[in-house]
Amino acid sequence: MAGRYSEWPKRLTDSSKSRAQNILCYIVSIYMPTKQTKTIFVSFSVHNVYRNLFLFPNGFFDQLKTLLIRRPDLRFVFLLRARDREKYASLIESGPAGQSILEVVDIPSQKSTLQKLFRFFYAYLTYTNTTRILTTMGMRIDEPPGASNRSLSLIRSGIAFTFGKSIYFKKRLIPKLHETIFPERPFRQLFDTYQPDLVFATHIYGEYDTYLLREARFSGVRTVAMPSGWDHIDKYFLPIEADTLLVPSQQVLEHAVKFQSYDRDRIVITGYPHFDFLTSQEAFMPRKEVLSTCGFPPDSRYILYVSGSAYCPDEPDIIEKVANWIDDGSLSPDTHLVIRPYLGSRSKDKEFDQKKFARLTTRSKIYYYDTKSWDTIADSIFFANLMRHASVVMCVYSTVFLEASLYDRPLLAATFDGYHKRPYHRSIRRFADFEHFKDVLSLGAIKQVFDFPALKSALRAYLADDTLDAPAREMFRRETCYMLDGKASSRILDLIVKSVDIQ
């Protein structure tokens, strides 16, 4: 049985009970639940889910643990990949024994030729500007087959503008075909054992959650799902629809309707759960402390530049130019620069960034911040405050703009390829067409510049007055962040509990 017998000896270590009592409680909780017990499956397949629901104090998981003490009739079963068991086991085990349970399940990693062709087909039932841009990159291993082949563009768009126009095809036929072409059912045994009342899929974009949602469909179990990031809904078509979709904002709701064919009455806006903490007093660091950590004088200012990874090979031209302006006093004598390189999970992207910025790391007015955020609370707080106290936040159409908007920082995108003239499919310019960025660019919250003189002018203007474009940034927050009231995690948990209670 997936993960069960290999896990319970490590799990059952409550110091207040004997080992035998612990084992008995565990067996009873699974095989002899009371008639009133309600079981909720929760997927935990990517690191974003850790950031969203587990990392921060008083977040979703902390509130859940408190709830479970009051509600002994509830149990949550967290479904992880084998690779993540050691990393997250102690976290899950910190919940009440018998009510916060870890199970390990892996999904098939290999696909047949038919499965690859089918995935290519259903993925492009949606063909957005985001899709079009992503399929010129071919850099992510989890994208549909042929994602790097630009010659297939006509086929992709042809699928979207024929079969993709049929709601019956997308909502009825594709799920049925998925059951036939992907016959594997990795979650079946756990469904048979636990008989869950609800499934909460926390990363709807991933194949792990696709298999989980499909098994719930087989078993007639109600499903609630959410994207784990801002930029997921507008990428590719997702083959299995959840009964209820939780989204962080009105913008993502509109994308779910337009690109994933969800009915509006099945979508609930909750806000971003990790913003609860990022906007709280607990996440505040004094400006002097941030400057001291960077090695900057206490009266200095700094520009924060967040790298776009290997997708943006000409960033060093732009950053070196900014560094030269800082050194020669063209911006202001007290200005410094913080560079945050790409810190994703792909080693070749990180290596690319290390080489890309190597010649800049020794400059006296540059702080090179290469610690990954969202792994620990301390690092997350520091990165949040790097954004909070920056005079300008620069990046190339990154989701960092969304987080920096929380602190009303000037947002600047250098939308050109340094000293090069690159074709559109290799140019930084293409990122402006991402669906989730097209919406916010129209608001004027992100200042775009298209050459070095305009970049210098924009930096000098923001350094002189960081309230420039503040009304547009306020609108950006309203459109994309929902209510920054610190209650997004509560809204998510409340909906999960209500969904299972009404059954």
Cα angle 103, 107, 111 (rounded to 5 degrees) comes to: 175
Residues forming a β-bridge with 201? 225
Same-domain status, 309 and 404: yes
pLDDT at 222: 97
pLDDT at 141: 41
Print the domain residue range for 414.
282-481
Q: 104 and 129 in contact (C-beta within 8 Å)?
A: no
- What does pTM read for this prediction? 0.88
User: Which of 160, 177, 194 is a domain's end point?
Assistant: 177
pLDDT at 16: 44
Same-domain status, 135 and 152: yes
pLDDT at 344: 58
pLDDT at 148: 61
d(CA 223, CA 244): 6
Q: Which helix (H) or strand (E) holds 74?
A: strand 74-80
In DSSP notation, 404-473 reads HGGGT--EEEE-S-TT----GGGSGGGGGG-HHHHHHHTTT-EEEE-SHHHHHHHHHHHHH-TTTTHHHH
pLDDT at 259: 95
Task: Report the SS3 class of residue 297.
Answer: coil
Same-domain status, 72 and 194: yes
d(CA 325, CA 395): 18
Using H for helix, E for strand and C for coil, what is the string for 93-125? HCCCCCCEEEEECCCCCCCCHHHHHHHHHHHCC
Same-domain status, 63 and 9: yes
d(CA 237, CA 119): 10
Which pLDDT tens digit goes with each residue over 84-112? 999 999 999 999 999 999 999 999 999 99
Can you read off the two tokens belonging to residue 463?
């350094």
Cα angle 350, 354, 360 (rounded to 5 degrees) comes to: 145
What CATH number is associated with residue 337? 3.40.50.2000
Question: How many angstroms from the chain centroid is the CA of residue 324?
Answer: 34
pLDDT at 7: 38
pLDDT at 351: 62
Same-domain status, 158 and 21: no
Cα angle 239, 244, 246 (rounded to 5 degrees) comes to: 95
d(CA 199, CA 43): 8
Same-domain status, 80 and 166: no
Q: 401 and 395 in contact (C-beta within 8 Å)?
A: yes
Cα angle 51, 55, 57 (rounded to 5 degrees) comes to: 130
Q: 254 and 440 in contact (C-beta within 8 Å)?
A: no
pLDDT at 144: 61
Same-domain status, 357 and 445: yes
Task: Report the SS3 class of residue 300.
Answer: coil
Q: CA nearest 325: which of 342, 341, 303, 298?
A: 303
Same-domain status, 261 and 332: no
Same-domain status, 214 and 133: no
pLDDT at 399: 84
User: Which of 158, 177, 196 is a domain's end point?
Assistant: 177
Query: Alpha-carbon dihedral of residues 366, 371, 376, 378, nearest 10 degrees?
Result: -20
Q: CA nearest 326: which of 418, 392, 388?
A: 392
Q: 391 and 426 in contact (C-beta within 8 Å)?
A: no
Q: 198 and 40 in contact (C-beta within 8 Å)?
A: yes
Residues forming a β-bridge with 246? 268
Q: How many domains does the chain contain in total?
A: 3
Q: 272 and 481 in contact (C-beta within 8 Å)?
A: yes
Can you read off the two tokens belonging to residue 270?
């909750």
Same-domain status, 345 and 418: yes
d(CA 465, CA 13): 57
Same-domain status, 334 and 477: yes
Q: 385 and 391 in contact (C-beta within 8 Å)?
A: no
pLDDT at 349: 54
Using H for helix, E for strand and C for coil, what is the string for 313-376? CCHHHHHHHHHHHHHCCCCCCCEEEEEECCCCCCHHHHHHHHHHCHHHCCCCCEEECCCCCCCC
Same-domain status, 461 and 397: yes
For the chain, 503 residues long, give each residue's pLDDT as a single digit of tens: 444 333 333 333 444 444 454 454 455 555 545 558 999 999 999 999 999 999 999 999 999 999 999 999 999 999 999 999 999 999 999 999 999 999 999 999 999 999 999 999 999 999 999 888 888 764 444 456 556 677 788 899 999 999 999 999 999 999 999 999 999 999 999 999 999 999 999 999 999 999 999 999 999 999 999 999 988 899 999 999 999 999 999 999 999 999 999 999 999 999 999 999 999 999 999 999 999 999 999 999 999 999 876 677 788 889 999 999 999 999 988 999 999 987 655 555 556 666 667 677 777 899 999 887 889 999 999 999 999 999 999 988 788 999 999 999 999 999 899 998 888 878 888 888 889 888 888 889 999 999 999 999 999 999 999 999 999 999 999 889 999 999 999 999 999 999 998 76
